[in-house]
Structure 1
Amino acid sequence: MELATTLQGQTVQNRVREVGINPDHWYPVAWADQLQPGTVQPVQIWQQAIALYRDQQGNLNALEDACPHKGIALHQGKVEGPHLACPYHGWQFNSEGECVHIPYFPPEQKLPCAKARSYPVQEQYGIVWVFPGNRDLADQTTLPEVPEYGNPEFFMVRIPGHFQAHFSICNENTMDVFHGYLHQELQGWFDPVLLSLKQTENTVKADYQVSYAGIMTKFLGLSKENEGVTTRVVSVHYRYPHYHSTMEGVSSLHLMRSPVGPTETRSFSLMFLKLPIPSWLLRRASQLGLEKLILDKLFMKFLLQDVEMMESEQRTYSANPDRQYVEVNPAILALQRVIVGQYVKFMQQSRESDSQNNGNQITPLPVADRVAAK
């Protein structure tokens, strides 16, 4: 659906700051190279605590981070071959969460029926992904496509993000190209114009025209020396719950969002740059640590300014959830509709499933969910 690009004030519906996620998607939880064989790492997806571990053969597994015996956090345990052992009594659980060994049980004694929830997990693009929703839907749900991954024509920079803010606030920051004013000291973009805007049930696509000048334009090959201001089209495409944005002929950013809880969000981003240097030099530059240099000296400076704004926004909202706000960017309003709509859709499906399982008796929603679903 094509939407108008006119900038005009509308009152923001604060319920977007209260909604949860639609869990029936793949969410990133860790960089793959940070989880070595035989190690365990605690992760969390929207208040679901998960013990993520790689067994001695390199296989990934994800279990609920609570031993079904005493509730001890399983991430504090250790990997025993293909199994994860609880640190308290040494009970071992397989990849399906089933108890397969208790060290003080005689070999012939039957094991108790104790099982931790297991989650579908996979590794792609150097990222570990977990599916926190209905596991029957995991095989039907695709990961975001990252066609640039492994392409020698692009230089890849991994950008980690951690924000003390609701994921809707973080998503709006990514969609909002009008905040270039914040980055003016870093020679960011200026004079943004919203050119086109489209929305579906689970996507928002916005095209902006932006201008650049200064040293950054020369580094990225946007302009030649003494050329002055350069204008480019930036396309921002949100496909719930992740992003892909491009700068015309220069870069491609895949931003994978990981909502941790109501006021905490992480992101795992892959930035692909077409730098004006030969491919053989790109490979050499990667070996010499150019990725870390670009991350530290360029992208993190922009990101830290954004973090300060997003966390300030969250603190103000938390202090007074009834405060009214005005938004003028129709792309932000479209994004809010998708975020709320996806959560409402999931809650309705959950209620229908519960009613079928409970003899058509509909279980009332918790108070926070009733507010979000209004």
Structure 2
Amino acid sequence: MELATTLKGQTVQNKVREIGINPGYWYPVYWADQLKVGQVVPVTLWQQSIAVYRDVGGKPHALENACPHKGVELHKGQVQDDRLVCPYHGWEFNSAGECVNIPYFPSDQKLPCANARSYPTEERYGMIWVFPGDPALVPLRQIPEVPEYADSDCLMIPITGIFNAHFSISNENTMDVFHGFLHKNLQGWFDPALLNLQQTDDSVQADYRVSYRGTLIKFLGLSADDNGVTTRTVSIHYQYPHYHSTMEGVSSLYLMRLPVGPNETRSFTLLFLPKVRLPAWVQNLVKPILIPLVRRFLFMRFLEQDIEMMESEQRIFRQDPQRRYVEVNPAILALQRVLVRQYEQFVQQSSQLEHPSQLEHRYTETETQPFKESFVATASE
């Protein structure tokens, strides 16, 4: 690779470790089957604490995890019908974040204009999704399509990943097929070659040729040559801010990213093995055994090695943010440019507007009028 490209990679890499997200996209925050009716849980989406709850009708909602009255965390409250009730004074907020009841106000007392920020929320592909950006952008942004999800005969394995690292580090790990050396004791891939690379303002598509040998190819049902080696094309498509990766004729992997903060990233992953096709009634019998086995002994063993490297990379960067690096994979450089560009576009677009995460609670003298004298008198008796 030319020196100019390498030096450019060094500059971008340092910058990409300090950026935030573009909030104008859908992000997964919780597994849908883990959020029960009437339950409220706290989640964090790029340093924003959010209370996610499922109302009595089964619909999920998301509010800023801070009561506009005293700032108490709303996830410590309870769900009542479609409302979230603050645990401190019992103020009730509907799914739009509007205060609809204060239990100690007389029935004819005007409620204060005290709104908790609400977030567009969807339940799809077994996940709860939240849109943290400008709600006006929701019609323009789509949750990534997962067509395999509707195929009941295709084995699906949900996987949770938690990394103590910036989201750029975890995203680079997924794009980087040249680290098969790390997994050599697991009979991972070898002899990788980058075949094709395409980049747009919000995506990177990279195709690699990789080779496998050993028990892994037998488990995946791959044919091998006389030397016990099989070669496949791995296609990795990053469409900001999520991934879809496929191995030719073998698997389809969706990695939906949740950037928690500068030092933590989570991944909601769906692994599909199309070649493991079983009738639905058979899958219902073997899934409780097969899914944990594949997750633990096939996927997690690789992921745990990746996590160790990603977290090591994060620690070294935090110790010396000015350290220079040499990147030689064009796909990583392309990915870094997309990440930086997306953040800079958001900053530029919002520079003349109020930041979407900053809400002003404006009260007029009328809206914050004291309790009626009759109420005060009653309370003092």
State if a TM-score over 0.5 links the two structures. Answer: yes
Q: Which residue of 1 aligns with 2:185?
A: 185
Give how far 1:285 is off: 5.0
1:12 aligns to what SS in structure 2? Answer: helix
Q: Which residue of 1 aligns with 2:350?
A: 350
**Counterparts of 1:249 and 1:130, CA distance in 2:** 32
Give how far 1:223 is off: 2.4
* Pairing of 1:22-171 with structure 2 (within 5 A): 22-171=22-171
Asked whether the 8 Å contact 1:218–1:225 carries over to 2, the reply is no
**Counterparts of 2:176 and 2:287, CA distance in 1:** 34
Asked whether the 8 Å contact 1:5–1:330 carries over to 2, the reply is no
Give how far 1:238 is off: 0.3
Asked whether the 8 Å contact 1:24–1:134 carries over to 2, the reply is yes
**Counterparts of 1:194 and 1:242, CA distance in 2:** 21
1:326 aligns to what SS in structure 2? Answer: coil
**Counterparts of 1:137 and 1:283, CA distance in 2:** 40
2:109 aligns to what SS in structure 1? Answer: coil
Give how far 1:287 is off: 3.7
TM-score by length of 2: 0.88
Going from structure 1 to structure 2, the CA distance change for 1:94 and 1:151 (only over 3 Å counts) comes to: same
Asked whether the 8 Å contact 1:220–1:274 carries over to 2, the reply is no
**Counterparts of 2:293 and 2:107, CA distance in 1:** 56
Q: Partner amino acid for 1:321?
A: P
Asked whether the 8 Å contact 2:22–2:342 carries over to 1, the reply is yes
Query: Are 1:198 and 2:201 counterparts?
Result: no
Query: Are 1:334 and 2:334 counterparts?
Result: yes
1:275 aligns to what SS in structure 2? Answer: strand
**Counterparts of 1:97 and 1:276, CA distance in 2:** 45
Q: Which runs of 5+ in 2 are unaligned?
A: 356-381
Give how far 1:278 is off: 4.2
Higher alpha-carbon Rg: 2
* Pairing of 1:222-261 with structure 2 (within 5 A): 222-223=222-223, 228-261=228-261
Q: Partner amino acid for 1:105?
A: F
Q: Which residue of 1 aligns with 2:362?
A: none
Q: Which residue of 1 aligns with 2:369?
A: none
* Pairing of 1:302-317 with structure 2 (within 5 A): 302-317=302-317
1:58 aligns to what SS in structure 2? Answer: coil
1:2-27 alpha-carbon deviations (Å, 9 max, x no partner) = xx999x74442201000000000000
1:171 aligns to what SS in structure 2? Answer: helix
Q: Partner amino acid for 2:315?
A: R
Q: Partner amino acid for 1:93?
A: F
Give how far 1:286 is off: 4.3
Count of aligned residue pairs for this structure pair: 351
Q: Partner amino acid for 1:12?
A: Q
1:327 aligns to what SS in structure 2? Answer: coil
Going from structure 1 to structure 2, the CA distance change for 1:193 and 1:216 (only over 3 Å counts) comes to: same
Q: Which residue of 1 aligns with 2:376?
A: none
TM-score by length of 1: 0.90
1:274 aligns to what SS in structure 2? Answer: strand
Q: Which residue of 1 aligns with 2:325?
A: 325
The more displaced of 152-161 and 25-34 is: 152-161
Q: Which residue of 2 aligns with 1:297?
A: 297
Going from structure 1 to structure 2, the CA distance change for 1:236 and 1:271 (only over 3 Å counts) comes to: same
Going from structure 1 to structure 2, the CA distance change for 1:225 and 1:295 (only over 3 Å counts) comes to: farther
Asked whether the 8 Å contact 1:157–1:270 carries over to 2, the reply is yes
Q: Partner amino acid for 1:167?
A: F
Q: Partner amino acid for 1:307?
A: I
Q: Partner amino acid for 1:213?
A: R
Asked whether the 8 Å contact 2:60–2:121 carries over to 1, the reply is yes
Give how far 1:298 is off: 1.4
Same amino acid, percent of matched pairs: 61
Going from structure 1 to structure 2, the CA distance change for 1:149 and 1:280 (only over 3 Å counts) comes to: closer
Going from structure 1 to structure 2, the CA distance change for 1:94 and 1:334 (only over 3 Å counts) comes to: same
Instruction: Tell me the C-alpha RMSD between the 2 structures.
Output: 2.0
Q: Partner amino acid for 1:177?
A: V
1:149 aligns to what SS in structure 2? Answer: helix
1:310-344 alpha-carbon deviations (Å, 9 max, x no partner) = 00000000011011011000000000000000000
**Counterparts of 2:92 and 2:124, CA distance in 1:** 28
Give how far 1:288 is off: 3.6
The more displaced of 99-108 and 200-209 is: 99-108
Going from structure 1 to structure 2, the CA distance change for 1:227 and 1:276 (only over 3 Å counts) comes to: farther
**Counterparts of 1:68 and 1:276, CA distance in 2:** 51
Q: Partner amino acid for 2:59?
A: N
Q: Which runs of 5+ in 1 are unaligned?
A: 356-374
Going from structure 1 to structure 2, the CA distance change for 1:43 and 1:354 (only over 3 Å counts) comes to: closer
Asked whether the 8 Å contact 1:5–1:196 carries over to 2, the reply is no
Going from structure 1 to structure 2, the CA distance change for 1:44 and 1:65 (only over 3 Å counts) comes to: same
Q: Partner amino acid for 1:296?
A: R
Query: Are 1:12 and 2:10 counterparts?
Result: yes
Q: Partner amino acid for 2:136?
A: D
1:113 aligns to what SS in structure 2? Answer: coil
Going from structure 1 to structure 2, the CA distance change for 1:5 and 1:42 (only over 3 Å counts) comes to: farther
Going from structure 1 to structure 2, the CA distance change for 1:92 and 1:219 (only over 3 Å counts) comes to: same
**Counterparts of 2:220 and 2:344, CA distance in 1:** 42
